[in-house]
A and B are shown apart, each in its own frame.
Chain A
């Protein structure tokens, strides 16, 4: 930790969970918006950053900014050391077996595109099938549509029930010898549903398909063990786990990554270049063309340290308390309806209030200092499934409090009053 020039003050995993101490680590939370203390409930879109993460970025540029790998001088070696240390933190974070399996990306979207492009293009044959679910984010729909179109493969969709659960029997019926790839979201961004991915993976493997998990919304809330899940690919984003934007992790099993072609060509990903032929660099650099976001990678590692310093067990418990409390308090509002009521759910409440358009709700809550998200949440097919144009979504992080949920409830009542 000393090497990145930052340290974590307020919390220690051995200490009890203290939300007030944690909130002090997040400078952005302590401001007024439209004259009201900010209530930030848009965590599923992006999370806020603790000071240690912000300082790590600043320290990189102040103290050791330099291009990584191949540099012989002190700064380059230092930057390389920190960047590769972050890769090891990411490996441990998802329990991959080797850093060769950790590819740095721009985020979850790029991770999925990389797999669709480098694995899908190489292995999908005409008539093959790719399975996704109804609750996917556009970033786990469109890349597969593109590669299926190109390869003459077919995209098949797992239906969901009214509560927002994947219908497992329907999924099993979709699987067959033509299924080559299953790509599903671990935790739904708009419903909060935590999918039974271990079962999904096991069934896919029975027919010889590989499984990609979109972990964008799982990573902020729960410990993920890619070996225990036995998933083949897993992607998540730094900015959802309290790290900077523009950075992410793509895990792939080493034997699969070895078989895949590079995603992009350029510097870093090569071993030898002649005009006749280029040989590619070893993993993980094969998939990392060009100068990466070095400070972003290092700061993502610091964000992981920060999460670990609190502990996922405590994070999950606090967020579960917020979800239970929020569901109870908000459900008392007349005309309040929750979209997505799966039993296994992350701390996301997607809702509608009778007679109020989500847009009006979003604007008028913002005027009261409350940040939520409204719209289709990049899940248009899912909104079609529920026959709604969109929802209001309040998503909680470990730095949120029950008092803030009370403010949301009060804010919604105020909006109802204004629009009555």
Chain B
């Protein structure tokens, strides 16, 4: 599946819920189901700054594709990073770098986040793209 296929799937899933509270219930569920990040990756270098909550993001490369694992100390943020991982993990670096994430606005996540928290979301995205960039350059050098 392409990044856009996955985005479209998520939009469809969230469209099933009309009430904002139901959307948050679903987001919480996604957060709860996200596998816990191995403690050895919960290091300062993996912390994404910018929100009231703490996010750890671990990226690695395998067979030319970039994979992400993430965790947070708050359930809602964990749901958001869970969605980002679902959309962006397992693709080639260039696909990740080129990705335009329209699903965030479509499922009204950004509008439900204050600008301070939106910055946190932006910080996560920036970190994901930086990983992709770094790993793609490493791959080229190898």
Contacts and interface: CB of A to CB of B under 8 A. Distances in A.
Contact of B74 (A35, A360, A368): A360
Given A35-B20, A418-B25, A418-B28, A375 B52 contact: yes
Contacts of B19: 35
B53 A359 contact: yes
A151 to B, nearest CB: 33
A419 B28 contact: yes
A330 to B, nearest CB: 21
Interface in B57-103: 73-77
Nearest to A358: B52
Nearest to B52: A359
Contacts of B24: 363-364, 367, 418
Contacts of B28: 418-419
A34 interface: yes
Most chain B CB neighbours (cut-off 10 Å) among A35, A357, A358, A418: A357
Given A35-B20, A367-B20, A375-B52, A357 B25 contact: no
Contacts of A364: 24, 76
Interface residues of A, number: 16
A253 to B, nearest CB: 39
Given A357-B53, A390-B52, A419 B75 contact: yes
A237 interface: no
B20 A357 contact: no
Contacts of B21: 367-368, 418
Contact of B76 (A34, A360, A368, A390): A360
A188 interface: no
A363 B21 CA distance: 11
Nearest to B78: A360
Q: Which one of B20, B52, B77 has the highest number of Cβ atoms from chain A below 10 Å of its Cβ?
A: B52
A362 B113 CA distance: 11
A359 B55 CA distance: 13
Contacts of B20: 34-35, 367
Contact of B75 (A360, A367, A374): A360
A27 B112 CA distance: 24
Contacts of B53: 357, 359
B52 A374 contact: yes
A183 B141 CA distance: 59
Contacts of A34: 20
Given A367-B20, A390-B52, A359 B25 contact: no
A292 to B, nearest CB: 29
Contacts of A390: 52
A358 B117 CA distance: 14
Nearest to B29: A418
Interface string A351-392: 000000111101110011000001100000000000000100
A147 B21 CA distance: 49
A362 B53 CA distance: 12
A367 B113 CA distance: 11
Given A360-B75, A367-B20, A419-B75, 19 more contacts: A35-B19, A357-B53, A357-B75, A359-B52, A359-B53, A359-B74, A359-B76, A359-B77, A363-B24, A364-B76, A367-B21, A368-B21, A374-B52, A375-B52, A390-B52, A418-B21, A418-B24, A418-B25, A418-B28
Interface of B: 19-21, 24-25, 28, 51-53, 73-77, 112
24 contacts: A34-B20, A35-B19, A35-B20, A357-B53, A357-B73, A357-B75, A359-B51, A359-B52, A359-B74, A359-B77, A360-B75, A362-B52, A363-B24, A363-B76, A364-B24, A364-B76, A367-B20, A367-B21, A367-B24, A374-B52, A418-B21, A418-B24, A419-B28, A419-B75
Interface of A: 34-35, 357-360, 362-364, 367-368, 374-375, 390, 418-419
Top 8 A-B residue pairs of the complex, sorted by shortest distance between their CB atoms: A357-B74, A359-B74, A359-B52, A359-B53, A360-B74, A360-B75, A375-B52, A360-B76
